[in-house]
Structures are given as structure tokens and as C-alpha cells.
Amino acid sequence: MSTAGDGTEVRSAGVVLSRGFRLVCPACGQQRLFRGPFRMLRRCTRCDHDFYPETGYYVGAVYVNVAFTEGLLLAVFVVSFLVNPVVSDRVFLVLAIGALILPLLFLHHSKSLWLALDYLITSRGSSRTSE
């Protein structure tokens, strides 16, 4: 992170996305986003960054989750097809189980990555933490 000439912080995409993958606040990187499997904080206790800026905010996280899940399942299918062009029922069973389990496993990361992407897009170069 560096400081621009007007004193605002300039964040790199790598830093913010890394915070998204680590499930911490995209603004400061100091506060974990989740307190339990289903409990997400409403604001950062360190920098007061709002984790719920509006109703329906996390609809975008569903798209992140679907893109990750479908991408991974497609990769598994392509690799299995390249290894053995005759796709067995076992491969489809693995894909079906993956389609049910992966969205649940990726739930926290999809929300965290959505928050990080939004932070990058809407507040790049400005200090949202001082609001």
C-alpha cells in the first residue's frame, strides 16, 4: 500500500484480493469477517468498514460462488475426459456431489471475495476507512 499525493491510500489489487482470500477486512486486513460458520460481522471493528452496505449486497457473491463451482467442475470434467474419453457414471456422480458440496464450502470465500472486489472497484485510491 502506498500514499498518493493528496494523502489518500492507494491499494494494489493483489493486496485487496489476498485479503479476500484470507477472509479479512478488505480495507485494513486486520479483522476477520466471520465469527462462526454462519455469522458474519456487520462492520470492521478496527476501521469501521461496512460489510453490509445495502440490502441484497451479497447477490454478487452468488455469482462468484457459481463461477468458482462451475469452473472447477468443468476443469474436473475436462481432465477426466482427456484421461479417458469414455466418461463413466462415476465421473458424473463425483460432479453431482461436487455441485452440491462446493457452493457450501466456498460460501465464506465468495462473500469475502465479493466484498474485496467491491472495495477495489468502488473505493480504489480513496480512503473508505475514514468515512
Binding residues for Zn ion, rule: CB under 5 A, are 25, 27-28, 31, 44, 46-47, 49
Rounded to a whole number of angstroms, the minimum distance from the CB of residue 59 to Zn ion is: 23
Residue type, 24: V
Contact 75, 66 (CB under 8 A): no
Q: Which is nearer to Zn ion, 69 or 111 (CB)?
A: 111
Rounded to a whole number of angstroms, the minimum distance from the CB of residue 41 to Zn ion is: 10
Q: Which is nearer to Zn ion, 65 or 128 (CB)?
A: 128
Q: Which long-range contacts (CB under 8 A, 24 or more apart) does 117-123 make?
A: 117/17, 117/20, 117/60, 117/64, 118/53, 118/57, 118/60, 119/16, 119/26, 119/27, 119/49, 120/11, 120/13, 120/16, 120/17, 120/26, 123/27
Rounded to a whole number of angstroms, the minimum distance from the CB of residue 119 to Zn ion is: 10
Rounded to a whole number of angstroms, the minimum distance from the CB of residue 9 to Zn ion is: 12
